[in-house]
Chain A
Amino acid sequence: MTARKKKAVAAAAEALAADPAEDAEAVEREPVRVPVFPVGVNYYPLIQERESWSDWYDRDVETDFAQLARAGFSLVRVFVSWKYFEQQVGQYADDADDRLARLVAAARDNKLKLIVTFFADDGFSELVDVPWAKGRDPRTDAYLVDRETALVQRIVMALRREEAIFAWDLGNEPFLARFESAEALRVWAAKLRDAIREIDKERPVTIGIDAETFQLATGIDARTALDDFGFVVSHPTAAYRIYATEGPMTSRSGTYLDSFLLHVARGALPVLLDDVGVFSLDYSAFEEAAHTRLALYSAVMNGAAGAVLRRFRDAQTENREPYFRDPYEVLVGVEDSDGIGKPSFAEARRFAKVALRLGRGGYALPRERVAVVMPAERWEPLPSLAGLHAPRSCLQAYVSAKEAHVPVTVVHEDEDLGAYRMLVVPSAFKLSAETWERIEAFVQGGGSLFASYGGGDAEPGARQLFGMEFLGDDGPRRAVSCRVAQPGMLGDLTSFDAALPVEHYALLGRGDAIVVATDATGNPLLTMNRFGQGQAVFLAVPAERGLAQPDTWGALSPVRDLLRAVYGSQAAAAGAAAPLACDRPEAEVVLASGDDGDVLMVLNHSGERVTANLTFERRVASVGDIRGGAPVPVTGPSFATVLAPFGAAVLRVTYV
């Protein structure tokens, strides 16, 4: 372990442990400044299904931790077994203490930091199945919750002065998903969190819930339960990925899902991207590595405070077919079951080195001035389909903004909108009247708004804002036609006919707005209205919702082109565009400013080799790979970089 590495690990811990309350400006999403980006891994207690619960971490953890340290990892998430610790009520097993001490010593010796997870379910370790519970629910039964509190306090007390402990984690999502109400979850989480803080006030406490994925799985809005933790986690579950995106995780909009959820989770608290890796053994080694690379670089480019891989070593399951379903999503690791590193491990190792170099000078990501608004209807239950459509539409809007190279984030409808210069409201069925008032004030004050029709009637205030009379919903259409009436007004638009099935089409009457494009029969399709000091653009079809349907990705490039052009044009007009241009939509670009020069990160979201031409606002003197090598002189504001399929480049840029 070099001195630099030690310093970096300490800095990583500091970054994640930063107290959000100290920086009220964080609410406004100031530039995220991360001195170093820690990479970690989930280290599960059992590696073979035939092992018993009593084999909890009964293996050579020292060798594994040494290997992780050599690969540049700095975090390890370990899982407490309540069943093993408290085999009889109130009597704790000495063996359990010894094994935990071995884990901690191994981490300390290798300068790794541990995240200790107390209550988790991984499918076969029986971590929370205490036999004396006699069927009572450990989430709500008062006696069991007291026993849980006692266990937690016992472990925290024993390890409170231990330098290898980085954070305490109350539980993982498979365990927590069995709560039946938000209130029960909040009460349980608050009780255990406070129990930890009674003993250890320094270290961050977290809970393994991503509010967005949790809502889909349980119908529970966990946001209030996540208040007052040290940091939060974000992780696309298999169910969420299947719901939100089409195709395998290495294709199409799926490659943006990790960063999208990161932005959804980002509030005042730092976010740790959790469970990076594929869900099942269906994926080839190439696909596993590509996904790992995409997720890790997406994380660092979109303001994550760190990333933790899904599993260290593949779990060996019993050979009982058909059994490929993994409801706990813990089977696939970065090493195979023989302990041989897979290509995804090599990817993580390479990334850890890049992250270390990034951290040497520190870097600040650009502040996002464009926000996709997640409507409050997202929390509506069935039979409203709005709750199911809204996240998908927001993801499509997010992808389009990324393709336009606009620095973008996601904001919830009830959050402060004042920190942004442009808002995107994609295919919402409705926003509250109060939100429309705030948006009106936002535009009046110089903000830029893009909204696409989502169905239903229009708010009276919205009619004034968009400068058009709303004449009703024309109902489903099989195709979207665009005839450009005002070329150049909202970017480089072209006329097209595309087979995009949409459930609604807003019929618009004459008003003050400029009709930028119409459909094939002359109905306004895209309008732009100057309102106060800002502008409001309206698209008469729920384009983002339509694009979110499977298989529309490739066939509907004209609609995607339209969104990309309009988003890019509006962001530029609002002064919220990126400080550089890129000619390839599939290349995600972030220009971060560092103490010793800017750092350009480019990530290829396609499975094809891509040459991205980049043009800066300033003349570039040289670019060099952050991993080393001589900088290459550049004689103007532009240069090209070649990206392998799903490849990434991190370049240090100096200017003339």
Chain B
Amino acid sequence: MPRTRSQHVAAAEQLAREGRYAKAAVEAWDALADRNDPLPRIILAEVMLADDFYEPAIRFATEAIELDPDCAPAYLALGLAYDRRGGMWDQSILVWHELAEVVPDLVTAHVQLGEALATANFDEEAIDAWKTALALDPREPRAMYDLAVAALKREGVATALPGFRKAGELDPSGDELFLAMLQGAVGSAAVPGRGDPKTRGEKLRAALDKAWYEDLFGAMDYVRSVLDADHEDAEALALAAWIYLKQEAVNEAVACAARALALAPDEPPALYVLGVAYAKRPGLAAQAAEVFSRLAAAVPNSALPHVLLAETLLGLQLYAQAGRSFRRAVTLDPTCVRARFGLATAYLTEGRHADANWEMRRAAYYDTRRKGHFWRLYDAYVGGGDEE
């Protein structure tokens, strides 16, 4: 049954969603007069968490849970507050356990549970939790990163590298970067509402749209059409290379990307595909590093090329250089989960455990925030329904 919200709670909720935390806190505080309402306490927990005030966040989330032991958003806020505060892993484990029971399909709860267990040195249990997360969602990159880090700690870099590669492949940020770069190169030609695209721009836009939704065959049809008209179209060749890559046809991808680069040296989308293709091939890590360093130079303000370069350098056991590239990526985009995990890996190779743990904690924070779990759980809780 949907919950009724007081005027103060509704106002606090609105302000918190808008990022006006100081005013949201005042509104929610007024609603605390109702000693049985968990909602203002949940909002206060989120507001405190948003400003990184962990102790009050823990207090309000705990109060909300005491009022309603099934309050999923409060568990989420409490678990995140424990984790981000650090040093409270025993409580954190209990909270993530509870959330995984309240919302069994919430993949993040299992991932976080694993991270809390790992910090408390329950390595086997942590691995089980991450495997549960991957069973629920095989495309969950964070669980894969966590497994790779666990392998790094237990058996060294060589054993961990395939895990990092796999996690990188699962991470959607690479595809997002490629498509964004190509979109920038193609321009803003609109796909016609009716009829087939006619111009090159329209066709490439249509191909990108199809590619975005992973209709690779549909996308390839448009690309072919562009290449039929001009077989020296570098952007179309880059997109063709990417489509081949997605279909695991690495040789074809390399051929198309190399041709695109012959026509347009330093074409960022083609550099991306060529680098990724090289990185997939054993023994070509040095070539991949060279390509990614050209990509990083071509797109200096984007974090991901630096991450790709750093991951390749990690494979070449050039840990200090990899660390520098990861740091550059984190500087450019503090929310880049992939860069954070990579940097944690570099720190682990240097024995900087506290720095590594911190980077993983921040990765967890941004990953959860990006996914918008709190407000989704909150809305489901207010609506009286189940999440996911």
CB closest residue in chain A, given B56: A382
- Whether the pair B87, A549 counts as a contact (CB closer than 8 A) is no
Task: List which B1-39 residues lie within 8 A (CB) of chain A.
Answer: 18-22, 25-26, 28-29
- Whether the pair A283, B353 counts as a contact (CB closer than 8 A) is yes
A461 to B210, CA, bound (A): 61
Q: Which residues of chain B have C-beta atoms less than 8 A from A321's C-beta?
A: 120-122
Q: Which residues of chain B have C-beta atoms less than 8 A from A429's C-beta?
A: 22
Query: Given A284-B354, A321-B121, A321-B122, is A326 in contact with B87 using a C-beta cutoff of 8 Å?
Result: yes
Q: Which residues of chain A have C-beta atoms less than 8 A from B333's C-beta?
A: 555
Query: Given A282-B353, A324-B120, is A555 in contact with B332 using a C-beta cutoff of 8 Å?
Result: yes
**Can you give 9 A-B contacts (C-beta < 8 A)?**
A282-B357, A283-B354, A287-B353, A322-B121, A383-B26, A383-B28, A388-B51, A455-B22, A551-B335
Give which listed residue, A247, A287, A385, contacts B21 with CB less than 8 A.
Answer: A385
Task: Tell me if A251 counts as interface (CB < 8 A to partner B).
Answer: yes
A501 to B352, CA, bound (A): 30
Task: Tell me if B52 counts as interface (CB < 8 A to partner A).
Answer: yes
Task: List which A527-555 residues lie within 8 A (CB) of chain B.
Answer: 549-552, 554-555
- Whether the pair B85, A242 counts as a contact (CB closer than 8 A) is yes
Query: Given A243-B53, A322-B89, A551-B362, is A382 in contact with B29 using a C-beta cutoff of 8 Å?
Result: yes
Q: Which residues of chain A have C-beta atoms less than 8 A from B327's C-beta?
A: 554
- Whether the pair B25, A476 counts as a contact (CB closer than 8 A) is no
Give which listed residue, B22, B56, B122, B362, contacts A503 with CB less than 8 A.
Answer: B22
Interface residue total, chain B, C-beta cutoff 8 A: 41
Task: Tell me if A597 counts as interface (CB < 8 A to partner B).
Answer: no
A554 to B332, CA, bound (A): 8
A575 to B62, CA, bound (A): 52
- Whether the pair B352, A286 counts as a contact (CB closer than 8 A) is yes
What interface size band does chain A fall in? 35 or more
A555 to B26, CA, bound (A): 31
Q: Which residues of chain A have C-beta atoms less than 8 A from B18's C-beta?
A: 476
- Other A-B pairs, 7, CB within 8 Å; known A325-B87, A382-B56, A476-B18: A242-B85, A282-B86, A321-B121, A326-B87, A476-B20, A550-B52, A551-B362
A549 to B52, CA, bound (A): 7
Query: Given A284-B352, A322-B121, A555-B332, is A475 in contact with B89 using a C-beta cutoff of 8 Å?
Result: no
Give which listed residue, B20, B22, B26, B354, contacts A282 with CB less than 8 A.
Answer: B354
Task: Tell me if B386 counts as interface (CB < 8 A to partner A).
Answer: no
- Whether the pair B54, A248 counts as a contact (CB closer than 8 A) is no
Q: Which residues of chain A have C-beta atoms less than 8 A from B89's C-beta?
A: 322, 324-325
- Whether the pair B90, A286 counts as a contact (CB closer than 8 A) is no
Q: Which residues of chain B have C-beta atoms less than 8 A from A503's C-beta?
A: 19-22
Q: Which residues of chain B have C-beta atoms less than 8 A from A550's C-beta?
A: 52, 362
Nearest Cβ distance between residue B10 and chain A, in whole angstroms? Answer: 17
Task: Tell me if B216 counts as interface (CB < 8 A to partner A).
Answer: no
Task: Tell me if A250 counts as interface (CB < 8 A to partner B).
Answer: yes
A386 to B21, CA, bound (A): 11
- Whether the pair A280, B87 counts as a contact (CB closer than 8 A) is yes
Task: Tell me if B195 counts as interface (CB < 8 A to partner A).
Answer: no
CB closest residue in chain A, given B87: A325
- Whether the pair B56, A242 counts as a contact (CB closer than 8 A) is no
- Whether the pair B120, A287 counts as a contact (CB closer than 8 A) is no
Give which listed residue, B19, B28, B122, B357, contacts A501 with CB less than 8 A.
Answer: B19
A511 to B120, CA, bound (A): 59
A225-239 vs B, Cβ < 8 Å mask (1 yes, 0 no)? 000000000000011
Query: Given A382-B56, A385-B22, A388-B51, is A238 in contact with B87 using a C-beta cutoff of 8 Å?
Result: yes
Q: Which residues of chain A have C-beta atoms less than 8 A from B122's C-beta?
A: 321-322
Nearest Cβ distance between residue A294 and chain B, in whole angstroms? Answer: 14
CB closest residue in chain A, given B332: A555
Task: List which B271-286 residues lie within 8 A (CB) of chain A.
Answer: none
- Whether the pair B87, A554 counts as a contact (CB closer than 8 A) is no
Query: Given A322-B93, A383-B25, A554-B334, is A476 in contact with B120 using a C-beta cutoff of 8 Å?
Result: no
A6 to B348, CA, bound (A): 45
- The 8 tightest CB contacts between A and B, nearest first, are A322-B120, A383-B29, A551-B334, A554-B331, A248-B354, A322-B90, A383-B25, A476-B19
Q: Which residues of chain B have C-beta atoms less than 8 A from A79's C-beta?
A: none
Q: Which residues of chain B have C-beta atoms less than 8 A from A554's C-beta?
A: 327, 330-331, 334
Task: Tell me if B351 counts as interface (CB < 8 A to partner A).
Answer: yes
Give which listed residue, B52, B87, B120, B352, contacts A279 with CB less than 8 A.
Answer: B87
A469 to B202, CA, bound (A): 51
Task: Tell me if B355 counts as interface (CB < 8 A to partner A).
Answer: yes
Nearest Cβ distance between residue B349 and chain A, in whole angstroms? Answer: 12
Q: Which residues of chain B have C-beta atoms less than 8 A from A475's C-beta?
A: 20
Give which listed residue, A239, A248, A383, A455, contacts B55 with CB less than 8 A.
Answer: A239
Q: Which residues of chain B have C-beta atoms less than 8 A from A242's C-beta?
A: 54, 85-87
- Whether the pair B351, A284 counts as a contact (CB closer than 8 A) is yes
- Whether the pair B332, A324 counts as a contact (CB closer than 8 A) is no
Give which listed residue, A284, A287, A324, A383, contacts B87 with CB less than 8 A.
Answer: A324
Task: List which B290-344 residues lie within 8 A (CB) of chain A.
Answer: 327, 330-335
A325 to B55, CA, bound (A): 15
